[in-house]
Amino acid sequence: MKKIAVFTSGGDAPGMNACVRAVVRTGLYHGLDVYGIRYGYNGMIEGDIFPMSSFTVSNILQRGGTILKSARSEEFRNKDGRKKAFENLKQRNIEGVVAIGGDGTFTGAKIFHEEFGIPVVGVPGTIDNDLYGSDFTIGFDTAVNTALHAIDNIRDTANSHDRVFFVEVMGRLSGYIALHCGIGGGAELVMVPETDTTIDDVISTLEKGRDKKKTSAIVIVAEGDEQGNAHEIAAKVKAKLPYLDIRVSTLGHMQRGGSPTSRDRIIASRLGLAAVEGLIEGRKSDMVGIVDNQLVYHSLEDAINKEKPLRADLLRLVEVLNS
Asked if 128 is an active-site residue, the reply is yes
pLDDT given for residue 323 in this prediction: 74
Distance CA 1, CA 12 (A): 29
CA distances from 224 to 2, 156, 177, 202, 206 (A): 43, 26, 11, 17, 22
Distance CA 175, CA 269 (A): 25
Distance CA 69, CA 78 (A): 22
| Catalytic, out of 12, 128, 225, 286 | 128
Q: Which of 111, 104, 153, 107 is nearest to 128 (CA)?
A: 104
pLDDT given for residue 230 in this prediction: 95
Quick count: other Cβ atoms within 10 Å of Cβ 282?
A: 9
Distance CA 191, CA 168 (A): 9
pLDDT given for residue 224 in this prediction: 85
pLDDT given for residue 226 in this prediction: 86
pLDDT given for residue 291 in this prediction: 98
pTM, rounded to two decimals: 0.96
* Secondary structure of the chain as H, E, C letters: CCEEEEEECCCCCCCHHHHHHHHHHHHHHCCCEEEEECCHHHHHHHCCEEEECCHHHCCCCCCCCCCCCCCCCCHHHCHHHHHHHHHHHHHCCCCEEEEEECHHHHHHHHHHHHHHCCCEEEEEECCCCCCCCCCCCECHHHHHHHHHHHHHHHHHHHHHHCCEEEEEECCCCCCHHHHHHHHHCCCCEEECCCCCCCHHHHHHHHHHHHHCCCCCEEEEEECCCCCCCHHHHHHHHHHHCCCCCEEEEECHHHHHCCCCCHHHHHHHHHHHHHHHHHHHHCCCEEEEEEECCEEEEEEHHHHHHCCCCCCHHHHHHHHHHCC
Write down all domains in the chain, each with its CATH number in brackets. 3-139+260-305 (3.40.50.450), 142-256 (3.40.50.460)
Write out pLDDT tens, residues 228-243. Answer: 899 999 999 999 999 9
Low-confidence ranges of the chain (pLDDT < 50): none
**Contact indicator for 7, 37 with CB cutoff of 8 Å:** yes
